[in-house]
């Protein structure tokens, strides 16, 4: 894929060499604090790339500061890309790199003829929810309890519950969302019959309470056939809260 530059003169391009894949290994250690046994190795990334995996990096002055990695798979008979990792070095997280990397990943997938991408994320992470739903236009109809089990990452100390999201790359919803760069709906439009699941935008304490409460809410709603379609950040008094919106229209409805 051709290279592209962000406003901060960071170049977004394919990761090609084994040396760059070694940098991906190091970024995993830095971002997630994982032990070596839980690092996805360069020697596995290399053959994956040969067989259709998408591995794109963000480079600042030639140094890797972020990356996205997705591999091909089969879901219900359809060839898809599952985006397994997206990571940005701490010093570069205010450069919109997550969004730029996902856009580049979408373009690469479409060039391969792939129209569907999936990934997972922690629903208590409001910044990721905003990126995924508001800016990219994903939907979610699966919730996994403790998806990765116990890991060495400091980010997983309260478990690894995950929403499984689907990105329909060539849909009107996604194309419209990418053009607008934000959710088109206003939070005030949520109706009384719809389901809203609320999280704090910043969870500084009582994390386990929020995990248990939202786990019950998501699993109950999704088991009943609801689909997570939007995420909003709204002001409530002196604080901001995040709200997931699950409309009354059920999955499978036209």
Residue 1 has pLDDT above 60, yes or no: no
Regarding beta strands 195-200 and 230-236, do their DSSP bridges make them parallel or antiparallel, or are they unpaired? Answer: unpaired
**Cβ atoms < 10 Å from Cβ of 47:** 9
**pLDDT, average across residues 118-124:** 96
Q: How far is CA 182 from CA 42, 55, 94, 109, 135, in A?
A: 35, 26, 17, 22, 5
**pLDDT, average across residues 162-166:** 98
**Cβ atoms < 10 Å from Cβ of 173:** 14
pTM of the predicted model as reported, rounded to 2 decimal places: 0.88
Helix (H, G, I), strand (E, B) or coil at 191: coil
**pLDDT, average across residues 68-90:** 97
**pLDDT, average across residues 42-46:** 97
Question: What residues have CB less than 8 Å from 223, skipping those under 6 apart?
Answer: none
Q: Which helix (H) or strand (E) segment is 55 a member of?
A: strand 54-60
Superfamily name and number for 1-114: Gcn5-related N-acetyltransferase (GNAT) (3.40.630.30)
Q: CA dihedral defined by 93, 5, 53, 64, rounded to 10 degrees?
A: -50
| 93 burial level (CB within 10 Å; 0-12, 13-18, 19+) | middle
Two tokens at 74? 């089969």
Residue 153 has pLDDT above 80, yes or no: no
Residue 15 has pLDDT above 90, yes or no: yes
- Is residue 56 within 8 A of residue 15, CB to CB? The reply is yes
Two tokens at 216? 């019950």
**pLDDT, average across residues 41-60:** 97
- Is residue 98 within 8 A of residue 88, CB to CB? The reply is yes
Give me the phi and psi of 245, to 5 degrees please.
-115, 120
Residue 6 has pLDDT above 60, yes or no: no
Region class of 55: left (phi > 0), else alpha (psi between -120 and 50), else beta:
beta
Res 155: pLDDT: 60
Residue 137 has pLDDT above 50, yes or no: yes
Res 185: pLDDT: 59
Rounded CA separation 231/191 (Å): 15
Res 53: pLDDT: 98
**Residue-range domain boundaries for the chain:** 1-114, 118-254
């Amino acid at each position: 894929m051709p290279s592209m530059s962000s406003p901060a003169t960071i170049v977004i391009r394919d990761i090609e060499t084994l040396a760059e894949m070694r940098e991906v290994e190091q970024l995993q250690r830095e971002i997630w604090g994982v032990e070596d046994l839980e690092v996805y190795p360069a020697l596995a990334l290399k053959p994956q790339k040969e067989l259709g995996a998408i591995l794109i990096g963000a480079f600042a002055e030639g140094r890797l500061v972020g990356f996205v990695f997705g591999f091909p798979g089969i879901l219900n008979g359809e060839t898809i890309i599952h985006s397994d990792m997206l990571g940005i070095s701490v010093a570069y997280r205010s450069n919109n790199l997550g969004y730029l990397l996902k856009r580049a990943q979408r373009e690469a997938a479409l060039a391969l003829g792939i129209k569907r991408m999936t990934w997972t994320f922690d629903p208590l992470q409001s910044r990721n929810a905003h990126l995924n739903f508001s800016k990219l236009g994903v939907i979610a109809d699966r919730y996994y309890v403790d998806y990765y089990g116990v890991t060495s990452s400091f980010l997983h100390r309260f478990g690894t519950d995950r929403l499984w999201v689907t990105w329909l790359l060539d849909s009107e919803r996604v194309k419209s969302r990418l053009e607008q760069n934000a959710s088109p709906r206003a939070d005030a439009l949520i109706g009384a019959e719809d389901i809203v699941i609320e999280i704090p935008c910043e969870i500084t304490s009582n994390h386990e309470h929020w995990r248990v409460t939202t786990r019950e809410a998501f699993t109950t709603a999704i088991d009943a056939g609801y689909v997570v379609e939007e995420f909003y950040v709204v002001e409530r008094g002196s604080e901001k809260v995040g709200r997931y919106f699950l409309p009354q229209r059920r999955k499978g409805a036209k």
